[in-house]
Amino acid sequence: MWKIRPDNLKRVSHTHSDQSFALVVVSNRLPVVSRKGPNGETVSTLSPGGLVAAVAPALAGKKAAWVGWSGSDDSHAPPLVVEGITVFPVPLSTELADAHYEGYSNSTLWPLFHHVGVPHQVHQGWFDAYSSVNQRFAEHVAALVAPGGVVWVHDYQVMLLPQMMKSLRPDVTVGYFHHIPFPPLEILSDLPEAQQIVEGLASADLVGFQRESDSENFRAALKNYARETASHNPRVGTYPISIDFDAVAEQAGRPGAHQRAVELRESWGNPRKVLLGVDRIDYTKGIPERLEAFEQLLDSGQVSASDVVFVQAGSPSRENVSSYQELRERIDSIVARINHNHTQLSGGGVVRYIAENLPRDEMLALFVAADVMVVSALRDGMNLVAKEFIACTRDNSGVLVLSTETGAADQMPDAVLADPRDPAALARALLQALTMDSIEIGSRMAALRGFGAKHDVSRWSADFLADLASSATA
C-alpha cells in the first residue's frame, strides 16, 4: 500500500528563491521542542539530544534548513526559525508514522543493526511505509535545496533518501551519516530489503560511520549488493561524532551545577563514592549488566553499601513495545533485589533509580556529582554520554568505565575498558575504578579531557563537510 520506488520519482528543477537553502539537514524528527510562554504564546527551542547537540553548531552562520517530522499530520504547519535554523515539518499520518518509525525503523532495523540478541521483526507493509516516508522527505528537500546545494542526511530512518534525492535533484551533493552501528554482512543478509537499503545509501556522495569496523562492514555490503549496472560508487569514511566540549564544560562549571551536585550527594547519604549510569532505557545500553556487576561486588564484600551508591538515570523509551516493557521489568527487579539485600546505614537504597526524563541542568549536575561514570552499552555507535561526563569533570577527579562495544572506546584508551558481556570483567572494571588512586585518576582524566577538547563537534562536522565537498568535485 505505500510502495514507492526511486524510478517512480520525477526530477525536480529548481530556481533560487528566498526559500532556497545552501545546506539542508534531514532527520526523522525535527529537533524542536515547543511550549507555552507566559502570555500563552508558543515558544520553540532546539531540543536536547545527541543529534541536535552534534549538528546544530555546524549550521551556525549558514543559510541552513532542517527537514523532518514534527510529530503531527498537520499539512498546514508553517516553517519555523529556531535559533537561526529554519525547520520545515513533514506531515505524516499516525498510521504511516507508526509503521515507519515504531515498525520498520525500530522493530526491524534497530535490533538487526545492533544484533545484541533481541530478534528483529518483519511485517508486511512496514518497508512500504518506510519507503513512502523517505519519498515524502525527499520531495520536501528537493523543493528547498538551492541549485548545487548540499543535503546532509542523518541516520537509519532515512537510508533510502540519498538515492531518491539523486533521482529528484541530480545537481545536489548528498552526504549521509550513520549514527548507529552498521552490521556485518552475515547479519545484514537477514534483512529482506538489504539490497534496497544498500543501493539507497550507495547513491550518496559520501557515507560516514562512527567506527572503522562499521565502514568496513558497509564496504563489504557495497561489494555484495551493489548491482553491476550501478554508476555511482560512494566515498566511505569514518567520522567519530563528538560534542560541543567547551560549551558543556562551561555549563558544568557554573555555581548552580556544583550546588545541585552537593545537594544530590547529600540526598544519597553523602557516600564516599558515587557510580553513575545515564541512558535511554534501551536493551542495547547494558543497564542490567552493569547493575548485576555492581551487585557482584556488594555480594562479595569488595564494596560496601555503607560508602558507595549507584545512581542510574534512565529516560523511558518505546514504552508500548514488548521488549522494552520486559527490559523495564528486569531493571526494576534487579534494583529491588539489590536494595533489599544491601541497605545504606541511613536506610536508603544503595541503588538510586531515576526512571524519568530529566532537565538538562539536572543531567549536568549528575555528571558533576559522580565519581565513576559507567557506560556498559552492549553495542553503541558512539555514546556521547561518555564524552559529556569527561567535559563535566573539570578537576580531573572522575573515572570513566567504558564498554569496548562503543565507538567511544576506539578514542578513549585512558578509560577503564571492559567487555559488557563478561560479568566478571565488568565487575573488575568497576572495582578498579572505585579503588584507583588520585594520581592515576588525574592522569587518565587529563588525557581524556585533552582529547575531547581537541576532537570536538566542530572538528567532526568540519571534517565531514569538507570531505563531502571534495567528494562532489572529485
CA 337/CA 295 separation, integer angstroms: 9
CA 28/CA 47 separation, integer angstroms: 14
> In the prediction, which pLDDT does 80 show?
86
Per DSSP (E only), the strands in 316-410 are 351-354, 372-375, 399-403
> In the prediction, which pLDDT does 7 show?
46
Cα distances from 213 to residues 183, 216, 445, in angstroms, run 9, 5, 26
Question: Measuring CA to CA, which residue among 236, 230, 166, 186 is closest to residue 208?
Answer: 236
142 in helix, strand or coil? helix
**Cell numbers at 89, concatenated:** 515539518
CA 422/CA 39 separation, integer angstroms: 55
CA 469/CA 457 separation, integer angstroms: 18
| Sequence letter at residue 77 | A
Q: Fold identical between 6-242+458-473 and 245-455?
A: yes
CA 416/CA 402 separation, integer angstroms: 6
Neighbours of 74 (CB within 10 A): 10
34 in helix, strand or coil? strand
CA 64/CA 87 separation, integer angstroms: 9
> In the prediction, which pLDDT does 151 show?
97
* Sign of torsion over alpha carbons 295, 297, 298, 304: negative
> In the prediction, which pLDDT does 230 show?
55
CA 173/CA 141 separation, integer angstroms: 12
275 in helix, strand or coil? strand
> In the prediction, which pLDDT does 474 show?
63
* Tens of pLDDT, residue by residue, the chain (474 residues): 344 444 445 444 444 345 799 999 999 998 887 777 777 777 777 776 667 777 887 787 778 899 999 888 887 788 888 888 889 999 999 999 999 999 999 999 999 999 999 999 999 899 999 999 999 999 999 999 999 999 999 999 999 999 999 999 999 999 999 999 999 999 999 999 999 999 999 999 999 999 999 999 999 999 999 764 455 789 999 999 999 899 999 999 999 999 999 999 999 999 999 999 999 999 999 999 999 999 999 999 999 999 999 999 999 988 878 889 999 999 999 999 999 999 887 778 999 999 998 998 999 999 999 999 999 999 999 999 999 999 999 999 999 999 999 999 999 999 999 999 999 999 999 999 999 999 999 999 999 999 999 999 889 999 999 999 999 766
Question: Measuring CA to CA, which residue among 218, 181, 249 is closest to residue 457?
Answer: 249
**Cell numbers at 353, concatenated:** 533509580
**Contact at 8 Å (CB) between 102 and 109?**
no
Predicted confidence (pLDDT) per residue in 308-360, tens digit: 999 999 999 888 788 899 999 999 999 999 999 998 877 789 999 999 989 98
CATH of domain 245-455: 3.40.50.2000
CA 229/CA 429 separation, integer angstroms: 51
**What are the extents of the domains in the chain?**
6-242+458-473, 245-455
> In the prediction, which pLDDT does 10 show?
47
* Sign of torsion over alpha carbons 179, 460, 254, 366: positive
CA 418/CA 293 separation, integer angstroms: 11
Determine which helix (DSSP H) or strand (DSSP E) holds 147, and give its type and residue range: strand 145-154
**Contact at 8 Å (CB) between 301 and 389?**
no
Question: Measuring CA to CA, which residue among 340, 344, 308 is closest to residue 430?
Answer: 308
> In the prediction, which pLDDT does 35 show?
74
- The class that CATH gives domain 6-242+458-473 is alpha beta
* Sign of torsion over alpha carbons 25, 30, 31, 34: positive
**Contact at 8 Å (CB) between 82 and 34?**
no
> In the prediction, which pLDDT does 3 show?
42
> In the prediction, which pLDDT does 288 show?
98
CA 72/CA 421 separation, integer angstroms: 39
Q: Estimate the crossing angle of helix 50-59 against helix 384-392, to 10 degrees.
A: 70
> In the prediction, which pLDDT does 49 show?
65
**Cell numbers at 124, concatenated:** 508486511
Neighbours of 237 (CB within 10 A): 17
| Sequence letter at residue 385 | V
Predicted confidence (pLDDT) per residue in 380-423, tens digit: 999 999 999 999 999 999 999 999 999 999 999 999 999 999 99
